[in-house]
C-alpha cells in the first residue's frame, strides 16, 4: 500500500504476550519510539502487559514529510494511534502518552472511548481546561528552546549537540544526567530516522482543538508528573488530575520532563497497577 498524508506508514514494535492486556505507548514531539526505552518496555511487559510502541509521523521509520509544512493535523496523529491498535488486532488498550503524546492520548480517550480501557498521561497538560493561570516553562528552558531556531537541522553534529543539551535541560534535578547513554540513544535515533529535520514539523501542526474536555473522560485516569518539570511545571499535572473525578496523581520527586531510569520502578508500578 502506498503511504499518503491521510494514510502514512506507521512503524511499531511490540513486547510481551499478545494475549495479555495491551498498552499503547505514545511519545511526544520530535520523539520516535526509541524515547520509550526498550528496557522500560520489557519491564512493563514483564508485569503482564502486551506493550506497543511506535514511531509518530515524521519520526523514526514512519512516513516523513518535507520540513516546514506538514500536510496533516494533530487530529491525524490521534487517528494514527488507533491504526496502530488495528495493525496489531487490538480492540481495546490502556493508552499511555508522554508530553505531546499525553495530549494525543487524551484526545484518543475522548474520541474513541470504546477503544480505551485506561488512560495514563505523563509530563503533559490538560486539554480543554483553562491553563492560562498555570506557570509556564522555566525561563532557562525558554532560552534553550529558542536556541533551536539557530540549529541547522541538516547538520548532524549541530543536531546531536542540541538534542543532548535539550535532554540535559529537561532532566531530573535529583538524579545524575547520563550524557554518554543519552548521546548514544540520540545518535541511534538520528541514524535510524535518517536525520531529525522532518520531526520539527510537529511544532507547526494545526489543530481543530478538542471538541470535549478532559472533564468528559469516561475511562480511569492516571497522571504521572515530575515535581521539577521545566516544560510543563507540576501544576499542569495537578490541574489535569483535579479536572477528572477519581483521577490518581503520582508525583515523581525531582523528576524532570523525562523517563529517568532511576524513576522507572515507580513509573512502571503506577502504570501496571492502573486500569
**Annotated catalytic residue, options 55, 166, 189, 229:** 229
Query: Exposure of 226 by Cβ count < 10 A (0-12 exposed, 13-18 middle, 19+ buried)?
Result: buried
Among all chains, which residue has been given the C-alpha cell 511506535?
A: 54
Q: Which of 257, 260, 263, 274 is catalytic?
A: 257
Q: What stretches of 69-212 show up as alpha helix (H) in DSSP?
A: 74-87, 100-111, 139-146, 156-169, 179-193
Specify the 3-state DSSP secondary structure of 210. Answer: coil
The neighbouring-strand residues paired with 25 are 53, 96
Tally Cβ neighbours within 10 Å of residue 204. Answer: 10
CA nearest 230: which of 214, 249, 254? 254
Phi and psi at residue 66, to the nearest 5°: -60, 130
Looking up cell 502486551 gives 50
Whether 193 sits among the annotated catalytic residues: the reply is no
Query: Taking Cα atoms as reference points, which of 103, 44, 32 lies closest to residue 266?
Result: 44
- Find the helix packing angle between 156-169 and 139-146, rounded to 10°: 170
What CA–CA distances, in Å, run from 58 to 86, 168, 204?
20, 23, 12
Task: Locate 226 and state its grid cell.
Answer: 515530575
Q: Is 76 among the catalytic positions? A: no
Distance CA 157, CA 137 (A): 27
Q: Is 123 a catalytic residue?
A: no
Q: Which residue of the set 62, 99, 117, 172 is catalytic?
A: 99
Active site residues: 99, 229, 257
Amino acid at each position: 500500500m502506498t503511504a499518503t498524508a491521510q494514510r502514512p506508514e506507521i512503524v511499531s514494535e511490540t513486547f510481551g504476550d499478545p494475549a495479555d492486556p495491551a498498552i499503547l505507548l505514545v511519545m511526544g514531539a520530535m520523539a520516535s519510539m526509541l524515547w520509550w526505552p526498550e528496557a522500560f518496555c520489557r519491564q512493563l511487559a514483564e508485569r503482564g502487559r502486551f506493550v506497543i510502541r511506535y514511531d509518530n509521523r515524521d519520526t523514526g521509520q514512519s512516513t516523513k514529510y518535507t520540513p516546514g509544512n506538514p500536510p496533516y493535523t494533530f487530529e491525524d496523529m490521534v487517528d494514527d494511534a488507533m491504526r496502530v491498535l488495528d495493525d496489531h488486532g487490538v480492540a481495546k488498550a490502556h493508552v499511555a502518552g508522554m508530553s505531546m503524546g499525553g495530549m494525543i492520548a487524551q484526545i484518543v480517550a475522548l474520541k474513541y472511548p470504546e477503544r480505551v480501557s485506561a488512560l495514563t498521561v505523563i509530563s503533559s497538560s490538560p486539554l480543554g481546561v483553562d491553563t492560562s493561570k498555570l506557570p509556564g516553562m522555566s525561563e532557562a528552558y525558554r532560552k534553550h528552546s529558542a536556541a533551536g531556531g539557530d540549529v541547522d537541522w541538516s547538520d548532524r553534529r549541530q543536531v546531536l549537540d542540541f538534542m543532548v543539551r535539550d535532554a540535559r535541560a529537561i532532566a531530573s534535578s535529583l538524579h545524575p544526567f547520563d550524557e554518554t547513554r543519552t548521546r548514544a540513544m540520540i545518535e541511534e535515533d538520528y541514524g535510524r530516522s535518517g536525520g531529525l529535520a522532518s520531526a520539527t514539523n510537529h511544532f507547526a501542526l494545526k489543530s481543530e482543538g478538542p471538541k470535549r474536555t478532559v472533564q468528559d473522560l469516561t475511562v480511569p485516569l492516571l497522571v504521572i508528573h515530575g515535581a521539577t518539570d521545566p516544560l510543563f511545571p507540576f501544576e499542569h499535572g495537578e490541574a489535569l488530575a483535579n479536572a477528572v473525578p477519581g483521577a490518581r496523581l503520582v508525583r515523581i520527586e525531582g523528576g524532570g520532563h523525562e523517563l529517568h531510569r532511576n524513576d522507572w520502578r515507580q513509573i512502571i508500578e503506577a502504570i501496571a497497577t492502573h486500569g
